[in-house]
Amino acid sequence: MKLNSVRFMAIATVSLLALGCSQSTPRVGGGQEQLTQDRWTPLFNGRDLTGWEPVGNASWTVEDGLLVGRQGENFAHGDLLTTDTYSDFVLLVTYRVVWPANTGVWFRYQDPGKAYQADILEYPNPIAYSGTLYCPGKMFLAINSDRSLVDRDGWNTLKVQARGDHLQIWLNDHLVADVHDSTSDRGRIGFQVHQGEEFGPMQIIVREARIKLPD
């Protein structure tokens, strides 16, 4: 009886060890998933304008860890563009604005006539709200006509996905643009401050801007 008990305990110990190894396997998978999620690269470091280049006469500052864009003197406009260029990507921007405003997120920006913009605005004719896809020379390629998707006083998230000629925009997790267009296949990412006295109080305030490139 004693010998059999020893053998039983040995077998039970080996079984428990094997079970323990089996249960530890999901933790390895979890680590790999975390690595995949961490492929995001911040474009804004929360401290200064490293990696960015101002164009025009707007004012761009970093205040309390936030990127703030305002008109310059005499209601001047301007852009803030990345020094790097991008082709295919997923872009996430978390922002809020001080209204009235006409601003937006440039992407695949090559020059003022060859680019796309995820608009942040309230446009009267045709009626268009933030998330509308603008292309110089072609006006609106897709329109968000649903004002209720916009948090006018709080934070909003724009997601832009560019894959070849397929362009998509989500505003606060709602798909608002889904088009194919070949105007620009690569370029810089940035923010715009529009000119005009009617937009004098405007501020575009960016809390986060990050990008994910294809594998």
The model's pLDDT over 164-186, given as tens digits with 9 standing for 90+, comes to: 999 999 999 999 999 999 999 99
Specify the pLDDT at position 38: 67
Round to the nearest angstrom and report the end-to-end CA distance of the chain.
62
Q: Domain 43-212 belongs to what topology? A: Jelly Rolls (2.60.120)
| CA angle, residues 106, 91, 129, in degrees to nearest 5 | 55
**156 has a pLDDT exceeding 50:** yes
For the question of whether the overall pTM of this predicted structure is more than 0.75, the answer is: yes
**190 has a pLDDT exceeding 90:** yes
* Cα 123 to Cα 119: distance, rounded to the nearest angstrom: 10
* Cα 82 to Cα 109: distance, rounded to the nearest angstrom: 10
Bridge partners of 122, per DSSP, are: 129
**214 has a pLDDT exceeding 80:** yes
The model's pLDDT over 203-212, given as tens digits with 9 standing for 90+, comes to: 999 999 999 9
The domains of the chain are located at 1-38, 43-212
* Cα 172 to Cα 167: distance, rounded to the nearest angstrom: 17
Whether the Cβ atoms of residue 85 and residue 185 lie closer than 8 Å to each other: no
* Cα 41 to Cα 62: distance, rounded to the nearest angstrom: 19
- Residue-wise DSSP of the chain: -HHHHHHHHHHHHHHHHHHHHHHHHHHHHHHHHHHHHTT-EES--SSS-TTEEEEES-EEEEETTEEEEE-BGGGB-EEEEESS-BSSEEEEEEEEEESS-EEEEEEEEEETTEEEEEEEEEEETTEEEEEEEEETTTEEEEEE--GGG--SSS-EEEEEEEETTEEEEEETTEEEEEEE--S-SSBEEEEEE--SGGGTT-EEEEEEEEEE---
Whether the Cβ atoms of residue 198 and residue 114 lie closer than 8 Å to each other: no
